[in-house]
Amino acid sequence: MGCAISGLAAKSQFAWKNTEDAAAAAAHPTEDQIQMIKDSWKVIRDDIAKVGIIMFVRLFETHPECKDVFFLFRDVEDLERLRTSRELRAHGLRVMSFIEKSVARLDQLDRLEALALELGKSHYHYNAPPKYYSYVGAEFICAVQPILKERWTAELEEAWKTMFQFVTSLMKQGYQEESDRQRHLAVSPKERPDKRSTAL
């Protein structure tokens, strides 16, 4: 499909070995990058349904193992059927809505952090492991390049990469926090501290 980033997310700067690496590696976009992202989003948002579908079809082409997370698409081999799937369109729109909220909150760091952490926690319950999060950013970048045409620059690409690295690092942190919380809740009663009243 021709995008230099596509299929390389696992080996690229989009992927990290663990949550600590992610937190250390992910920088918040600069003010100039934020402005570039916001300006380009004005063009992208006119085609959000199209971008969402392209992004996920490409994701399933380049990383077919990701389909295992989506029970609705797990057994769909025909990519043309995916392109016309109402369910995939709906999921693509949800992801694009998250990206839109992230863009809107780039200069409200506390709100962006809360949003991304919460999404990471919910992905724990969807059984969507962090190793897949980086792929979405790479496929988004590939999907929007043709839409932005001559507006697409190396600087804009770097700005979007920075945003996705920042957001996915927070999502991974949220996933890990929820995983730890669930593990703690699952501790057997024998291992829990004794909460019986000692009052006579």
Query: Would the pLDDT of 190 be above 80?
Result: no
Task: Give residue 192's pLDDT band: very low, low, confident or very high (50, 70, 90).
Answer: low
Q: How far are the Cα atoms of 32, 33, 35, 151, 159 from residue 155, in angstroms, in the given order?
A: 10, 8, 12, 10, 6
Task: Supply the pLDDT for residue 27.
Answer: 87
User: CA-CA distances (angstroms) from residue 196 to 184, 187, 190, 192, 200?
Assistant: 19, 17, 13, 11, 11
Q: What is the pTM of this model?
A: 0.80
pLDDT digits 0-9 by tens, 48-73? 999 999 999 999 899 988 888 887 77
| pLDDT tens-digit readout, 39-49 | 999 999 999 99
Per the model's pLDDT, the better-predicted residue between 8 and 73 turns out to be 73
| The architecture CATH gives domain 31-185 | Orthogonal Bundle (1.10)
- The least confident of 79-83, 125-129, 149-153, 192-196 is 192-196
Distance of CA 10 to the CA centre of its chain: 14
41: CB partners within 8 A, 6+ apart: 100, 103
